[in-house]
Amino acid sequence: MANLKDLKNRISSVKSTRKITKAMQMVAAAKLRRAQEAAEMSRPYTERFNAVMAGLAASAGGEGAPKLLAGTGSDNVHLLVVMTAERGLCGGFNGNIAKKAKAHAADLKAAGKTVKIITVGKKGRDAIKRDLEQDFIAHVDLTEVKRIGYENAQDIARDVLARFDGEEFDVATIFYAKFVNVVTQIPTAQQIIPFEAPEGADADSGTLYDYEPSEEAILADLLPRAVATQIFAALLENGASEQGARMSAMDNATRNAGEMIDKLTIEYNRSRQAVITNELIEIISGAEAL
């Protein structure tokens, strides 16, 4: 039977842990509201922008189309931009994104393709480098960024576009988690180079537009912006997904700590009762001996 002092120390330790997890849950809930609002407010613009881009791409996708739309004519080298969180304690959020990226990399390698990986977020870097260190080429550190802004997406987009202009890869795909609600975040892969409109971003049907200057000239200006826009939308979705996953994980941890405290308290009371019973037996036995 466990020592009473040890049980008391364990109960005190678990209570302290429960206070921490409860505080982290409340902080995540406060941050989630802001992150969710940012992600949801960005969706109408992103969806409309992708619809316009899809229409332009459909009408100007022939010869003379910009390289970001037409591609290099090959798909031998793939760049994977894996976006996760800088911190842990958020359930399977980081692991699910890394798992999807690693599965995609494995499929590409099985098809004889070359894979290069850029990570955004320390947790993704740690997970990727364990298994795919030979494919790792760069990391974007956002540890000091308190609030994700469009300039962060632009920095990542400039790096990706510079590598594309330098003919370092043929196809680029971003990996992130799409926020649905507190308990559901969907790991998502989205091709950004050559431009590929996300699902549901079909061009407006039945609407005719006159473009000035030409579609090709407009695309040449908008395609780099489309890369930054998709990256920014993914960062915002990731931010909301991270806080939702952390809130859910800390809620589970708080409830588990409460259950453990109840079990330890019962064990402590039983042990204490056994000690008292033994002492009484010893006192009675000593009295009878006299």
Tokens representing 174 are 């971003």
CA distance linking residue 240 with residue 148, whole number of Å: 11
Active site residue 236: no
| Residues sharing a CB contact under 8 Å with residue 120, sequence separation 6 or more, in sequence order | 81, 82, 83, 84, 139, 140, 142, 156, 235
**Closest by CA position to 128, among listed 143, 142, 138:** 138
| Residues sharing a CB contact under 8 Å with residue 41, sequence separation 6 or more, in sequence order | none
Taken in order 152, 157, 162, 166, is the CA torsion positive or negative?
Answer: positive
C-alpha distance across the termini of the chain, in Å: 31
User: Active-site residue among 53, 65, 81, 90?
Assistant: 90
**Closest by CA position to 257, among listed 10, 17, 1:** 17
Point out the residues that are catalytic: 90
